[in-house]
Structure 1
């Protein structure tokens, strides 16, 4: 993963400069600068609006005792999308708008969920993480649910608890 970040830090600025030059050759230099400024202003307004919505949804989920998986992933996507929108360039703005806009964010959330699930599964040696990743599986009222081996509901197992080391008074 670190090599991917290093490669992105080298390739993305070069790609941004290339795209800005190409657009500048088609529409002119000043209109390109104006378009970049308008995109940045629109992005800042959108970040403020969607960031406030994500924050309010997160607070509401925490106050009601709901597991805030969806709200946390939305907040993370707005944060990353906002960073991309405030970075000058057209390519990063496309990805930033994809992460921040409310009608494209569910697609980004599904992609994030799949990425994290795949990443955690490989890190943990193939463990089943369904229900632990937001949007990856069923969740119950108190959080993720997983199938546990044991008796079916209503079955009673008779037994006795034996303390091997009773405390002496």
Structure 2
């Protein structure tokens, strides 16, 4: 009996670990003991530049010409521009009409900060008992399940409204 009380006391103290707990809910660590082959991104091939005077100045800790940019490469492959991901580029002129239409009813100036604070509070509430799991689980998908979009239901709703829609992905089995 005293061992059971000791175990309950230890679990209670662990559950009250305070505000410094991890609220990310993602557990993507590999438990195989081997290397994580997806964390290694090989550099691009070295090439001799046409003009050595046009090379950018070295930036210690920054990026260089041989660094891979998987997200930028994906953006280009999908018809976009890799430079759109860089901060400070603003909205392209071609997207001005879209931005104007999306903000026609007004946009709060602090929308990003407000959403970040709300999401942090949501993750804090959802991660209350994540440390008390016997098996490591990625709780992110469980926590955000009710916000998941159902493409089949959306297509059906729009079709009932008389809107012509493209086909949706097949339903998951």
TM-score norm. by structure 1 comes to 0.28
TM-score norm. by structure 2 comes to 0.27
Larger fraction in helix:
1
Structure of greater relative contact order (alpha carbons < 8 Å, 6+ residues apart): 2
